[in-house]
């Protein structure tokens, strides 16, 4: 062999060895190489490490998008594959660099369909119920979550759902259950449904009911909102059925003896076709029956006390009266006690008494008030001794008049009876007065007595006549004249005088003046202004000291008018100013005596000319007026101003009276 040729061949083999060393074989493919993956994985990454220079081209068989497709470029050291449907697909990576073995690197991939869990229907349950659910579907196992543990479920778990339903509130409580299915490492789509736990209904406590038989019974049931109520009754004698629903409203039967029933009320809450009962409550309905024993009829005289006590088994008794004119009110409660009032005619009333609290068993009885005996009021009688006295007694028909006399010295007996009182008045040495009491009697009933007086006088002809009684009032210390009508009657030794006195209850004991001329002057130091005095005429025997004998049997005193000497009002100026600045003002204080209101006029005078005049009225005993020189024009003479008052009066008098 030629040595040169051998060398070439050696060089050729050497060159081949160097090329093979620069492009090593591809490493195995990395990624989820197990034969199945989950369909619902967003994408899967596959890579052949250290193959950057191989310029790999990746392919899927069958071609996308039947099962999978590349997410991003299908060249390079790695690729991302997204899955469109379950199935089997082959992934191959082929090197395009000629220094690599062009044989593709392939792997079969099984895309597993996602598992699922069956979605159950929404359920409604009552508190305390066992809630159990066995999950079905294609998963190997299942997990679940509860979004509202208040319904009694745990927050999460796996396997079957099993818990006791709860609801602590008064309205339906909703809880959502979501479930996930798993098959191997594949998680399927979730399922969700709801569980509504109804509330435990309650009925508000009910008070016992006690009414009279025949009354309306009304019981309104309340409790959990939207709750219905059923009830049972253990005593149909109260007029209520043995069972029912809703509120209880009915008219009870009348019973003679009390009847009591126990009513059991059960609340029931219904929603979505499910009814949950609550704790029952009980209360009692009692019907009362009451009677009153019939009272006897009563007959009484006017003024008699009437007392009726009611008996029976009522708690109390009410009554009505058909005629309150007998002195009994139109209605009342309890026993009857009153004083009968009569009239000219007999009165019979009907009293209806009703036992309480059950008003249907009433009884009636009569109260008869016999006719009232009455006597008409006789007038008082005044006669002179020796005169005949006749008093006719009248009153109700068929009445007997019995009378008594308190002073037989007038000539009348102490007692008597009959329609007339007739006697001759005794000749008395002094005036005598008797009180006669007349009592009418009719049908055994005595009427209201009346009294009148009979006065027997020791009569004489002396009379002081009459005075004009018109009240007289004057201003200041003037002499006042009273008017006598000149109709006096005097016996031979009688004298008439006129007196002024101060006490109307004691004319002779409070004499201030005597007068023979009907004129009364104001006596300074003895009499007082604004005090009331009274005038009177007196007549009787004249005594040695020229006075009238007031103790004589024929002494006469005739009262006349009231007399009033009013004080003259005064006005004074307190501390008037000595000077006033031009265009200035000064306050002047006036003080008054007399009776408000006070009226006066004040002037500003200069050189005998009136510069300003103003009328004032004061309801108080002092008043301040303001003098301002701006209110008038001054004369140029420069003389002093004079401040004067030229008119003043109070409510009754002026200073000029």
Q: Where are the beta strands (DSSP E) in 567-608?
A: 570-574, 585-593, 598-606
pLDDT at 438 over 90: yes
Q: Do 22-112 and 570-649 share a fold?
A: yes
Q: Where are the domains of the chain?
A: 22-112, 123-197, 209-288, 298-369, 381-457, 472-566, 570-649
The lowest-confidence range among 165-179, 352-366, 410-424, 464-478 is: 352-366
Fold for 22-112, please state it: Immunoglobulin-like (2.60.40)
Q: What is the mean pLDDT of residues 385-403?
A: 91
Rounded distance between C-alpha atoms, residue 573 and residue 579, angstroms: 15
Architecture of domain 298-369: Sandwich (2.60)
What is the number of residues in the chain?
657
Give me the helices (H) in 126-211, please.
none
37-72 CB burial, b ≥16 within 10 A, e <16 = bbbbbeebebbbeebeebebebbbeeeeeebbbbee
pTM score: 0.40
Better-scored residue on pLDDT, 496 or 7? 496
Encode 413-437 in three state secondary structure. CCEEECCEEEEECCCCCCCEEEEEE
Give the range among 3-12, 205-214, 370-379, 609-618 with minimum mean pLDDT: 3-12
pLDDT at 5 > cutoff 50: no
Least confident residue range of 120-124, 562-566, 628-632: 628-632
CATH 2.60.120.960 fits 381-457, yes or no: no
**Residue 467 contacts residue 461 (beta carbons within 8 Å):** no
For 123-197, give the CATH class: mainly beta
Residues 253, 288: contact at Cβ < 8 Å? no
pLDDT over 70 at 494, yes or no: yes
Q: Residue 362: pLDDT above 80?
A: yes
Which band of pLDDT confidence, cut at 50, 70 and 90, is reported for residue 2?
very low
Range name among 151-165, 518-532, 570-584 with the lowest pLDDT average:
570-584
- Position 636 pLDDT exceeds 90: no
Annotation: CATH topology of 570-649: Immunoglobulin-like (2.60.40)
Is the pLDDT reported for residue 258 higher than 90?
no
């Amino acid at each position: 062999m030629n040595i040169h040729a051998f060398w070439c061949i050696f060089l050729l083999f050497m060159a081949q060895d160097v090329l093979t060393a620069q492009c090593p074989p591809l490493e195995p493919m990395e990624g989820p190489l197990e034969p199945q993956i989950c369909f619902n994985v967003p994408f899967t990454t596959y890579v052949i490490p250290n193959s950057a220079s191989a310029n790999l081209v990746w392919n899927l068989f069958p071609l996308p998008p039947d099962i999978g497709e590349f997410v991003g470029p299908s060249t390079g050291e790695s690729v991302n594959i997204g899955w469109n449907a379950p199935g089997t697909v082959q992934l191959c990576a082929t090197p395009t660099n000629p220094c690599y073995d062009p044989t593709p690197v392939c792997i079969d991939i099984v895309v597993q369909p996602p598992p699922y869990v069956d979605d159950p229907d929404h359920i409604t349950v009552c508190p305390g119920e066992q809630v159990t659910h066995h999950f079905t579907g294609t998963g190997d196992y299942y997990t679940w979550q509860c979004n509202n543990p208040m319904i009694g479920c745990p927050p999460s778990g796996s396997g079957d759902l099993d818990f006791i339903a709860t609801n602590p509130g008064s309205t339906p409580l909703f809880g959502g259950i979501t479930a996930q299915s798993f098959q191997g490492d594949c998680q399927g789509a979730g399922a969700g449904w709801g569980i509504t736990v109804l509330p435990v209904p309650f009925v508000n406590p009910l008070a016992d009911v006690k009414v009279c038989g025949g009354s309306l019974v009304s019981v309104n049931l309340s409790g959990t909102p939207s709750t219905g109520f059923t009830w049972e009754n253990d005593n149909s004698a109260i007029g209520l059925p043995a069972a029912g629903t809703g509120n209880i409203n009915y008219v009870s039967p009348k019973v003679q003896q009390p009847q009591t029933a126990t009513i059991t009320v059960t609340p029931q809450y219904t929603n979505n076709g499910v009814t949950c009962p609550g704790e029952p409550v009980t209360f009692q309905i009692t019907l009362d029956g009451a009677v009153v024993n019939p009272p006897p009829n009563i007959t009484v005289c006017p003024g008699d006390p009437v007392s009726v006590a009611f008996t029976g088994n009522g708690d109390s008794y009410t009554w009505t009266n058909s005629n309150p004119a007998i002195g009994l009110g139109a209605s009342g409660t309890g026993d009857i006690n009153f004083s009968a009032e009569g009239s000219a005619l007999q009165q019979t009333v009907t009293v209806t008494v009703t036992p309480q609290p059950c008003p249907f068993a009433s009884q009636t009885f009569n109260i008869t008030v016999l006719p009232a005996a009455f006597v008409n009021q006789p007038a008082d009688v005044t006669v002179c001794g020796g005169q005949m006295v006749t008093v006719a007694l009248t009153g109700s028909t068929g009445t007997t008049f019995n009378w008594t006399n308190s002073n037989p010295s007038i000539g009348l007996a102490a007692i008597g009876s009959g329609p007339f009182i007739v006697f001759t008045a005794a000749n008395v040495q002094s005036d005598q007065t008797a009180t006669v009491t007349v009592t009418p009697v009719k049908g055994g009933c005595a009427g209201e007595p009346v009294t009148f007086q009979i006065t027997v006088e020791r009569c004489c002809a002396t009379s002081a006549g009459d005075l004009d009684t018109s009240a007289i009032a004057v201003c200041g210390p003037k002499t006042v004249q009273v008017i006598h009508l000149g109709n006096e009657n005097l016996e031979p030794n009688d004298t008439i005088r006129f007196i002024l006195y101060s006490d109307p209850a004691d004319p002779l004991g409070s004499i201030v003046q005597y007068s023979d001329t009907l004129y009364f002057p104001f006596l300074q130091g003895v009499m007082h202004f604004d005090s009331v005095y009274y005038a009177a005429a007196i007549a009787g025997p004249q005594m040695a000291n020229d006075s009238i004998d007031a103790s004589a049997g024929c002494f006469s005193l005739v009262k006349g008018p009231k007399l009033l000497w009013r004080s003259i009002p005064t006005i004074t100026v307190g501390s008037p100013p000595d000077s006033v600045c031009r265009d200035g003002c000064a306050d002047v204080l006036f003080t008054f005596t007399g009776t408000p209101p006070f009226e006066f006029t004040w002037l500003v005078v200069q050189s005998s000319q009136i510069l300003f005049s103003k009328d004032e009225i004061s309801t108080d005993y002092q008043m301040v007026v303001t003098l301002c020189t701006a209110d008038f024009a001054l004369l140029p003479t420069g003389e002093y101003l004079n401040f004067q008052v030229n008119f003043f009066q109070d409510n009754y008098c002026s200073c000029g009276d």
